[in-house]
Chain A
Amino acid sequence: MASPPPGGRPGAGPDGARPSGRSAARRALAVRLGLMAVPVAFFALFFGYPVATIVGRGLREDGRWQFGRAAEVLTSPDTLDVLWFTVWQAAASTALTLLVALPGAYALARFDFPGKRLLRAVVTVPFVLPTVVVGSAFLALVGRGGVLDEAWGLRLDTSVWAILLAHVFFNYAVVVRTVGGLWGQLDPRQEEAARVLGAGRFTAWRRITLPALVPAVAAAALMVFLFTFTSFGVIQVLGGARYATLEVEIYRQTAQFLDLPTAAVLSLLQLAAVAAMLAVHAWTVRRRESALRLVAAEHAARRPRGVGQWAFLWSQLLVVAVLLVLPLAVLVERSLSAPGGYGLAFYRALAEQADASSAFVVPPLEAVGNSLAYAAVATLIAVAVGTLAAAALTRRAGPLVRGFDALLMLPLGVSAVTVGFGFLITLDKPPLDLRSSWILVPLAQALVGVPFVVRTMLPVLRAVDERLREAAAVLGASPWRAWREVDLPMVSRAGLIAAGFAFAVSLGEFGATVFIARPDSPTLPVAVARLLGRAGEYNYGMAMALSTILMLVCAGVLLLLERVRVNRSGEF
């Protein structure tokens, strides 16, 4: 089908189009192509090209494709081990997250209690935390010399439980936001109607509420599976030598063994798996768009009644306290417990000039400034590219544009390590010699931020009633003016939220940055990882201190976002 002209007027069919109609349709197509040009160029240049190059380099030798080699890698026991671990830990993490978070989603959706807004914010903090920080926090809680180790000699860092718990910690918010957001807006009168028609309390829930929730639960489960499937930072910190996901293995093969062919095959394997998951996700999203009766969340929530409901609510608060707050509290505690008692010794050490034995050529504290500057630039790029993409995707579209939609989600799942390494080997010659340019880091980070921007902006843009634009046009506003007067004011809040997410994600980006950040200007996560990789109490303490700083910055950004959050603001 031809694309609708600007202002979404359904175009006259090719059979009856007059010259002016045809030119309008052409103009419309030109506008959309123009909007898409920048995002497409951005993704082609800074995503497709590096990834394709590195994969090609791994699979080609002497100008020929080495598919035999690929088959060898794919069928080797090592690869199958890694794949098996990647899949089962992701499945286990997803199941555990749903088990823990669904009751929490219910509590936040249906109950009204003091401090609910604060709780919503607290629950979301882990999601925007860098994976490295999450790793550090769990290391401080359950690792060697951690709190549990000191108290009871209990260590989980050698077991897979530390990884699973960290994944639950990280993804609790995904379930609460995606499922709870919908749950809170389901019209309770639907259930009441079923009750009046003779359904029992449970039957009404099973027949009315559950079917409405299933697509949201499926979507949330899929996102959690996707995030844990490609988990890197958490495993890198907590997995030790025993556990490796595909992403970790890609990193090892690339950075430690310099075995590019193996890394390339593993990258392709991950790409295929992620593409399949995204296809399923797109399908569940379409299912979710089925008409549901939604009401403002405030109308659906009420005070808990009776001992049972209060006990349930408190149990959920306890889960949040133990699972989400405790690790972060321990992280802060560790960062403050200097050799001579509590103090800021580790923080002071961060600011000191590095000596020969140090992992750094600059004081680690400089990483804070680097990170903020990089993230700010990355946010600008992500918001610009993401907004253009969202604007191009707003209007009803054919399969071509839907494919573009899926393309935008890919960076969420494609090996960041591959992207980072791809940057190094492709963007190093004219006309794009960026190897020594600082812009390389923000570009890589923006790549991860764009999907968040699009996911946040798109639902809001799509919710703008087409007829409002038409009303503006009839009153004399040109298409561009109508967009500025009607769309922009409505999406500016969503834009702010998108920017915040992009900022937080950029701050925490690790897999790609670790390759391309220059030694003299590390970012916070890179600095934390470097410190954790070194022995010594001071390095450990400094890692905790830096993680704490990073956590505070991210939490601060998030709390600012909570203040501007609107009801319809995307899925994350």
Chain B
Amino acid sequence: MALTRRQRRTAVRGTQYGVLVAAVLVLVFAANWGDIQRGFFDLNAAKQLFPDVLTIALVNTVKYTVLGFVFGLLLGLVLALMRLSSVPPYRWLATVYIEFFRGVPALLVFLAFGFGVPIAFHVRFTTLSTVVAALGLVGAAYMAETIRAGIQAVPKGQLEAARSLGMSQFRAMVSIVIPQAFRIVLPPLTNELILLAKDSSLVYLLGLTGSEYELTKYGRDAMNTVQSMTPLVAAGLCYLIITIPLSYLSRYLERRTSGESKRGLEVLS
């Protein structure tokens, strides 16, 4: 059967849309909408979640994430500088740290800080310090490699110019190299923040009191109370409130960084 190019294109297009429409129709008619609504989008159950899902759970997730990120960023910067150090033992230590914490599951680190360390040293951590330590230690390993790459991406001439003006190595790093490195690594660091926001859910495994609940633990508990999955859906939506703006921010920063060399730096000046 000989078809012209135009006819063949129409046929292919028609088939593709046809399959899609058929699949949607099957779903619409086969699905039990009543059950789906009761199970996932129960408005009565949803109402019971407010305001706690926002004022306690979302706030705690944001708090754990931000504090863990800040701790991880500072530790990551130290590790990045150790990786670039001229003293071999510093480089080895940083490498071992990074390989270890990138290689083990974050869950293991949470368990270690929630139960292992307290047993070993007979201490008790608050939930906040546990989650911040665990998130920070894991995040630092990833951020250290990102920051190291950023520092190495700053042209060598910047350091030479700073040194030729009489700045010490330390001063040149602090005033000239690191600020430029951070502008380069802002997009990947934003992605790291997104990952940490999701990993903060692992604190769910530690015994939490009601005021310490974050989104996942809150959703899990509320699910039992209302006999519907609606709380988990609500928790999921709350995560998206955090992560989607961040991922757009990351993409925006990436575009800006890559266009910067051509367009000029007016944005952050």
Say whether A associates with B.
no
Query: Residues on B close to A: CB < 8 A?
Result: none
